Amino acid sequence: MSRENGTPVLEVAGLRRAFGGLVAVNDLGFAVAQGEIMGLLGPNGSGKTTALNLMSGVLRPDAGTVRLMGRDIAGLASYRIARLGLARTFQLVRVLDGMDCRENIKAGLAFQKPHLPATEAEVRIDTLLDRVGLAGHDRRPAADLTYIDRKRLELARALAAKPRLLLLDEWLAGLNPSELMIGIDLIRSLKADGITIVLVEHVMNAVRALCDRCVVMSSGRKIAEGATADVLSDAAVVKAYLGGVAADA
């Protein structure tokens, strides 16, 4: 694969967002290179989801820049950001309950430009259903799916647009051990496809297995950054997690 001579897929600098007096994200900065999986860690309430919301356009930053392949997207409408190649899933899974699985995935690709020809779109939907383990469920209403299958469907919808950057907000949470293995393999296969991923996750085994590097947040600030093994043994990180989620889940 050709390297994009150094331009990170995602580059965040000086990002800040306050809710009233609470600064949920404070001077956050990091970069994610092409094909990398970067873990975004931190105890509950440390600002991880808020950071994803700022990158994907759900929230407007008070300050700072978010560069997607070199282009500043901070404050852009989320539909524009989506069309520039950023896709995400939500901490509280969001699928379109009134539609079947096929339509859910179609929603992910139908509004990307340029538009795919109908037959190609159908093929891509079938491929995605198969890939996330929902083959044969294409006409099933999303409302009838189990929790795990809803997560799968949401991921398939995010992948439908062939994103350059994928933001996963605790996508592996709530899976049982065997489902977790499958989930980890699935995310690893996305990396093999060249998708760059920001992974917000509390499941430390998954973080160890998947992340090339990690950024750790606490109270909105970045407290550590580096190779996964180093970061997870960092004294400040262990301290931040004490009382929160155990570092060895």
Partner 1 sequence: MNARAAGLGVLALAALVLLAFVPRLGNAYYLALAISLLQYTVLATAWGMFSGPTRYVSLATTAFFGIGAYTVAVLGEILPWPLVLLIAAALGAFVAAIVGLSTLRLSGVYFVIFTFGLTELIRQLVVWFEVNKSRVLGRYVFVDITQADIYWQLLALTAAVFLLGWLIARSRLGFALRVIGEDETVAKHCGINTTFAKVALFTISATVMTLVGAIMAPRWTYIEPSIAFNSMISFQVLIMALLGGAHRLWGPVLGAVPLTLLFELLSARFPNTFTIILGCIFLLIVYMLPRGVAGLFEKLSATAGGKATGRVAA
Ligand X SMILES: Nc1ncnc2c1ncn2[C@@H]1O[C@H](COP(=O)(O)OP(=O)(O)OP(=O)(O)O)[C@@H](O)[C@H]1O
> Taking Cα atoms as reference points, which of 133, 188, 128, 185 lies closest to residue 158?
128
Q: How many CB atoms lie within 10 A of CB 225?
A: 16
d(CA 99, CA 103): 6
Select 42 or 108, whichever has its Cβ closest to partner 1.
Answer: 108
39-58: contacts with ligand X (CB under 6 A): 42, 44-50
| Residue 125 φ/ψ, nearest 5 degrees | -60, -45
d(CA 93, CA 15): 25
Select 5 or 44, whichever has its Cβ closest to ligand X.
Answer: 44
Select 28 or 128, whichever has its Cβ closest to ligand X.
Answer: 28
How distant is the alpha carbon of residue 7 from its chain centre? 20
Question: 12 is in the binding site of which of Mg ion, ligand X, partner 1, none (Cβ under 5 to 8 A by kind)?
Answer: none
157 binds partner 1 (CB under 8 A): yes
Question: 44 is in the binding site of which of ligand X, Mg ion, partner 1, none (Cβ under 5 to 8 A by kind)?
Answer: ligand X
83 binds partner 1 (CB under 8 A): yes
Q: What number of CA atoms fall less than 13 Å from residue 216's CA on the CB side?
A: 26
Q: Which residue of the chain is nearest Mg ion when measured via CB?
A: 49
Size, binding site for ligand X by CB under 6 A: 12
Which residues of the shown chain bind ligand X in the complex (CB under 6 A)?
19, 22, 24, 42, 44-50, 91
